[in-house]
Amino acid sequence: MVEVDVAIIGAGVVGLAIAREFGFCPGQTVILEKEPAPGRGVSSRSSEVIHAGIYYASGSLKARLCVHGSAMLGEYCATAGIPMREAGKVIVATEREEEQAIEQLYLKGLENGVRDLKILDRAELKKKEPNVSGRCALYSPHTGIIDSHLLIRRMEAQCLEQGTTILYRTTITALEKTHPGFVCTVCGPGGRPYSFLSRVVINAAGLGSDTIASLAGISVLEEGYRIYPVKGEYFRVNPAKQGLVRGLVYPMPEKNLMGLGVHATKDLSGSLRLGPNALPTETISYDVDPSHARTFYESASRMLPFLRLEDLSPDTAGIRPKIRKPGGPERDFIIAHEAGRGLPGMINLIGIESPGLTSCLSIGRYVADMAREDGLLP
């Protein structure tokens, strides 16, 4: 039986970032990806925003990895020639009762180590974003946007240069603990199953991460590993109006909302989009329902009074791998070496949603450090 040192399940931006870190170490790493190319799932269907780390609970993995990851990503993009721009973001309070929440969000950001945050009064907001309406806003100058597709391609190329093997159109069907390591049974492009032995298995399968965990014998419901997919749709704004917004414009997040609310983002070409919404789903479909345009308009026009319903047209959609039950409390990333569950050598990454893109490089470093500290790496 063929033997490898590390098998990474998933060639999204997080799986590639982990493989990149393991590529600096001796040994053979293989990535298993069910799609025909990298980043076809969660990674390439987002707002492409590089977050500063404002929203997340102090001390959480989301907060720590986002702040660290944002800095790492800036350095990596500069070195690799990947387009990235600090567009700046305003989080807008449109109602009186939201003004105090702006102050609380500001303090949370400071606690998380976010740099150069500033609360803008109405006049300062109008100067920063003349066509945005609000009572006040929290301004984050270092929030940015990135070409996530190019990031994925560059990381894939780096992994290949380091000697990593990437097996596309390959689905893992069984995972059996043995000594040492795991017998991985997969089905490749030819449709015939085969098995190999891997000393370490890293589950970075995004929407399928709970399925992979269950293959290893973990009860995903009991352990809180079950994925609750949440679909997010985007609508494109009339190109004639895209110049009316300078940066990124976000609402105050509502309590118990499954996302950050419908916000306005500009990509590197200057195109303006609204989204995403948050729709719990059990099916993987990336269609956008045109009838949802009215809800988007009603939500966004509170901040963007220049919008008209006819300015919106369906764009893209993505699905987030949330571990938070609908209506339940916010959950942190799960990044766990499962030695305590009788699975030494298996590291699960569950619920890696936003800010996963921002955090990808710091997640890769975190997983490599965990593996090294636990004796899984030389």
- Other CB atoms within a 10 A radius of the CB of residue 84 amount to 21
Torsion of CA 246, 69, 334, 11, to 10 degrees: 90
- Other CB atoms within a 10 A radius of the CB of residue 307 amount to 23
Q: Which residues contact 165 (CB under 8 A, 6 or more apart)?
A: 4, 28, 29, 30, 31
pTM score over 0.85: yes
pLDDT in tens, 241-291: 999 999 999 999 877 666 788 999 999 999 999 999 999 999 989 999 999
At 207 the pLDDT is: 97
All structural domains of the chain, each given as residue ranges with its CATH number in brackets, are: 3-44+149-220+330-373 (3.50.50.60), 89-141+228-322 (3.30.9.10)
At 189 the pLDDT is: 92
* Residue among 253, 315, 328, 324 nearest 89 (CA): 253
Residue 121: beta bridge partners?
Answer: 136
As a whole number of angstroms, the distance between CA 71 and CA 76 comes to: 9
**What single letter denotes the amino acid at residue 340?**
G
pLDDT in tens, 202-224: 999 999 999 999 999 999 999 99
**Residues of the chain below pLDDT 50:** none
At 118 the pLDDT is: 98
